[in-house]
Amino acid sequence: MIRKKSYGHPFDTEAVVGPCEVLDGPLPFLTEEGGGRFSCPLDEDAVVYGLGENVRGINKRGWIYESLCSDNPNHREDTRALYGAHNFLVVDGAQRFGVFVDYPGKVTFGVGYTDSGLLTIQTEEPDLNLYLIDGDSPEDIVRQFRVLVGRSYIPPKWAFGYGQSRWSYMTADEVREVAARYREAGIPLDAIYLDIDYMDGYKDFTVNREAFPDLSGLAAELKEQGIRLVPIIDAGVKIEPGYPVYEEGVRQGCFCKEADGSDFVAAVWPGRVHFPDVLNEEARRWFGGHYQALLDQGIEGFWNDMNEPSIFYSEKRLESTFAQLDGYRAKNLDLHTYGALQGLVAGLKNNPEDYKCFYHRHKDGLVRHDRVHNLYGYNMTRAAGEAIEALEPEKRILLFSRSSYIGMHRYGGIWTGDNLSWWSHILLNLQMMPSLNMCGFLYTGADLGGFGADTTEDLLLRWLALGIFTPLMRNHSAMGTRRQEVYRFPHVEAFRQIISLRYVLLPYLYSEYMKAALGNGMYFRPLAFAYPEDAFARQVEDQLMVGESVMIAPVYQQNARGRYVYLPERMKLVRFGGSHAAGQNVLETVREELLEPGHHYIEVALDEVVFFLRPGHLVPVSRGGCCVEDVDFTHLKLLGYPEGGCSYELYDDDGFSRDYDDPAHITRICVDGDGMIHTEGTAGKEVQWL
């Protein structure tokens, strides 16, 4: 049951699209303390799930979190806010309920922070919609919430392949070299991402014609090899006379405004910019329409960045800072004055006061940006998603964003931003996944190998062993860091085996993604969701369920040769790769072993991937391929732990069209008590035991 209570004059975020009951009386579960503050006790054994993209564990108890979309590359334990604002959590204790705080400004969640036995929620202003959900289990509560906020975005099938990215692919020839090196090494690849360097002067929807003289030709050339180009789009539009996007935006009044009605001036990569007023329907339509310029050149995917929005400086603050800096010129800079000097310059970027200086022309009137700050990235991606659907109604286009709010999950996925090449960030990647799924973000993943700092071969191998299970599987790194295209490392065969396994597992992974999206379920789940009666499963923070059949337990510690794993029931350990596997198709390297319930130490070599199969479950696999289009989804092999009769519902479609609900996409794979396989549904599917 979902109940809604409104306070003050809530802003319509358009996050909610499903029905609910309106609550007139007192709140269940939470205590109203007034002024946008709510609280409830947490019993000693209560687990708190959710809050989407955030630091720390699957259980969010013990820290204070802020929903405030922030350009923050410091993904540390003491971080309070990252790029997304995902105000949904589930308390699973003596009381079991979910709460969604639909409020577009800053929200603070004290999850046992000041008092370990108390949950507190505080909004900056007392104007909000509060949704309370009760259910039979945490997973039941999540499913109800997902119906409330709408179906998750579904990308094209090719977007489930491996992608290579780097901030600093400067020319078309460099992109060609990356593609050629992957193909020469026999390592699958489906996408190469273009960061800001492909643009002309960092201007949105433009191409540097000296470095990329024929983008449409390059896109076509790579597509023949099964590789797509995916360019970045930023939030800021460069202020430059003669630049059509800028001139159109000014002429049509499509940019965010100062209080006096002039266009707000800030700065990002190209210097001085205006921000499209994406909370305004007409401006959203205008900005989204410009994606056609790249669609017309054969582009089939985009990633939206810097859309918190990030601000290097505002024009007015920069002028004020220069004036104050002059006052330090003749001073003896002691501890305090030196600190103040540093603070002046550091305070230019993403200054909270700048977010109070510009306005949106919303359908309900003029609204100051800081009061709706968390909606900007959502609506930038909505602008793209709505426009692309109108421009390409029969075709799925890849679209994901850095900043987001619940509701954006209907238009695109997200990546988890500027992480680092740290071992702890492998674990952080894993722990974010179920929380993001709870909030509707199914198409998601981290920068594999780490964006900032220098990666190492062992770190990248271990991270890829997790990344083959995340829907977005992209290796991305920053300019100035060590190059981390996998063919640059000594043990290329190990990388080939691990990345190839992604394509072997694709029939299962794609099927589980589609069933989660269409059924409002979760692709990644905490163990406790699958084993609600197992008290120890509630404590496991470094293992996940992937779909209905598989449990993963990646290695995330430097120099570890394996790890401890908890099995809630008897499971089959499945092992791929290894030094014995050189030159073989990765499918031929499989080894299986039955393990009893309980705690086990599992050895896992750097060139191996392991996962665990549940009893009574199946995993359909392919023979792999050099790209997703090369994968045969018709003639499949079957991994399984049948324990008598069992079945698996396989979802498969053409990967491009939007007719997701056609029953013809479903094939039921059935195994009887004698191990015989037969299929029901789609004609032409052939399945045999591996």
Say if CB 444 and CB 522 are below 8 A apart.
no
Judge whether 134 counts as a catalytic residue: no
Active site residue 334: no
Helices of type H across 398-541? 423-438, 457-467, 492-504, 506-518, 527-530
Largest CA distance in the chain: 89
Q: 108, 122 in Cβ contact below 8 A?
A: yes
Q: Give strand ranges (E) for 25-87.
A: 31-34, 37-41, 47-50, 63-67, 84-85
Is residue 258 annotated as part of the catalytic site, yes or no? no
Tokens of 108: 């603070």
Catalytic residue among 418, 485, 512, 607: 418
Beta strand spans in 86-168 (E): 88-92, 96-102, 107-111, 118-123, 128-133, 162-166
Q: In what order do the strands lie in the sheet with 444-445?
A: 444-445, 413-415, 398-401, 301-305, 228-234, 191-194, 162-166, 473-475, 447-448
643: left (phi over 0), alpha (psi -120 to 50) or beta: left
> What is the spatial distance between Cα 659 and Cα 518, in angstroms, rounded to a whole number?
11
Q: How far apart are CA 624 and CA 271, in angstroms?
A: 45
CB distance 194 to 228 below 8 Å: no
Question: Residue 422 is encoded by which pair of tokens?
Answer: 């740290």
Angle between helix axes 281-289 and 244-251 (nearest 10 degrees) is 160
Q: What element of type H or E holds 249?
A: helix 244-251
Crossing angle of the two packed helices 376-391 and 281-289, in degrees rounded to 10: 60
Question: Smallest Cα–Cα separation from 481: which of 459, 460, 452?
Answer: 452
Cα(127)–Cα(9) distance, integer angstroms: 5
Check 305, 447, 493, 652 and give the catalytic one: 305
Residue pair 379/284 in contact by the 8 Å Cβ criterion: yes
CA distance 387 to 285: 7
Quick one: three-class SS letters along 615-675?
CCEEEEECCCCCCHHHCCCCEEEEEEECCCCEEEEEECCCCCCCCCCCHHHEEEEEECCCC
How far is the CA of 368 from the CAs of 361, 506, 509, 648, in angstroms? 9, 46, 43, 51
CA 499 to chain centre: 20
Rounded to the nearest 5°, which phi and psi values hold at 333? -85, 90
Distance of CA 359 to the CA centre of its chain: 28
| Positions marked catalytic | 305, 308, 418
